[in-house]
Amino acid sequence: MKIDDKFFMKLAINEAWKYQFLTYPNPSVGCVVVKGDSEILSIEAHKEAGKAHAEVNALKQAFLKYHPNDVLKTLSNSFEIHEYLIKHHNDFFNDCTIYVTLEPCNHVGKTPSCANLLKQLKPKRVVIAHKDMNNQAKDGQKTLEEASIECEVGCMKKEAYDLLYPFLKWNSGTFIFYKMAQTLNGTIDGGKISSNQTLAYVHTLRDRIDLLVIGGNTVRTDRPTLDARYVVGTAPEVLIYSQKTIFDTQIPLFKIPNRKVTISDDLFKLLDYKFVMIEGGYTLLEKLKEKIDFLILLVTPKIRNGLNAQNMIDIDFEIIHENFIGKEKIIYLRRKVK
């Protein structure tokens, strides 16, 4: 394998995908710090909105590799990490290249400006996969170049765009993904399919989204709870997509305190939210296909008898990423618009 800019950027992109959606409303971003030509010091990502940006996590871990110390190790507040690195870097980063999937932010928000931090640490080069179009955060490249730091933009731009796509969509309107857990042969029914680790991921998603959509048939068949109990998170607002008006109120999903549940056949309601997850079967998938941006498949390595796509269904996707959650596979697919 050729060890070049693309190699390091791919590591940053892969790391960022591990936190895709979990950073909402922020974008998912990855960063790699390389010393000299090829010594990888750190591979990090932004993990949650309000917490340290990818660059800050990566610069911190990189510095710790050569300067292990408990003071920096225990810092998690971005302002404090910035302050520490600016005070103690002693030109450590001058022979480093920073690979980052999104242009370093140029503004002070919940965390301080990454472009300003890099400007002071003066790495040899900053390689950026995708420009930041956000009016508040953009122009980090300009700040770096004004400080005579060499920048390159556009390395793995298509892959970085795929990573950024949910953020671009929820920033300009609504991002909708359809999540389905299935066996290797595509069966989706019969209760628990996924491992506890995958279910914890699903519950983390439920904690982050603005709205969970579920079909009427699933509500009657599964009698679900639809909370985030595996991660002790917040149960999402629920929209039951249905032509009926009455459901058995003993179904656990109605029993969650302080959570709004709406029963409706009006899909325009989805546009009132920025980040929407649909949990459903194949009938609902075909029905809602024009609305969805991504399909997230959680594949468990089992073959089972069960419900598969039975009726007319016709949707094409592009696989944009795949990963593991423990021993199960997660596949991110973007719907192709025909």
Ligand X SMILES: Nc1c(N[C@@H]2O[C@H](COP(=O)(O)O)[C@@H](O)[C@H]2O)[nH]c(=O)[nH]c1=O
Ligand Y SMILES: NC(=O)C1=CN([C@@H]2O[C@H](COP(=O)(O)OP(=O)(O)OC[C@H]3O[C@@H](n4cnc5c(N)ncnc54)[C@H](OP(=O)(O)O)[C@@H]3O)[C@@H](O)[C@H]2O)C=CC1
Binding site for ligand Y (CB under 6 A): 180-182, 188-189, 193, 215-218, 221-222, 241-244, 265, 279-284, 287, 307
- 144 by DSSP, 3-state: which? helix
Q: Which residue has the tokens 């459903």?
A: 280
The residues that bridge with 238 in the sheet, in sequence order, are: 212, 261
276: nearest Cα among 233, 241, 315, 245: 241
- 274 by DSSP, 3-state: which? coil
Q: Which of 39, 44, 48, 55 is catalytic?
A: 55
Q: How far apart are the first and last CA of the chain?
A: 36
307: nearest Cα among 334, 284, 332: 284
180 secondary structure, DSSP code: E
The contact pattern for ligand X, residues 252-291, with x = CB under 6 A and - = no contact, is ---------------------------x------------
Measured between alpha carbons, how far is 116 from 249 in angstroms, rounded to an integer?
54
271 secondary structure, DSSP code: G
* Pick 63 or 241: Cβ nearer ligand Y: 241
Q: Residue 224, interface with ligand X (CB under 6 A)?
A: yes
83 a catalytic residue = no
Binds ligand X (CB under 6 A): choice among 13, 156, 176, 202: 202
* Pick 117 or 181: Cβ nearer ligand Y: 181
> Of ligand Y, ligand X, none, which one sits near residue 307, judging by CB under 5 to 8 A according to partner kind?
ligand Y
The contact pattern for ligand X, residues 161-200, with x = CB under 6 A and - = no contact, is --------------------x---------xxxx----x-
User: Shortest Cβ distance from residue 292 to ligand X (Å)?
Assistant: 15
> Of ligand X, ligand Y, none, which one sits near residue 189, judging by CB under 5 to 8 A according to partner kind?
ligand Y
269: nearest Cα among 252, 288, 285: 288
Tokens of 232: 């002790």
Q: Residue 295, interface with ligand X (CB under 6 A)?
A: no
Q: Residue 205, interface with ligand X (CB under 6 A)?
A: no
The catalytic site residues sit at: 55
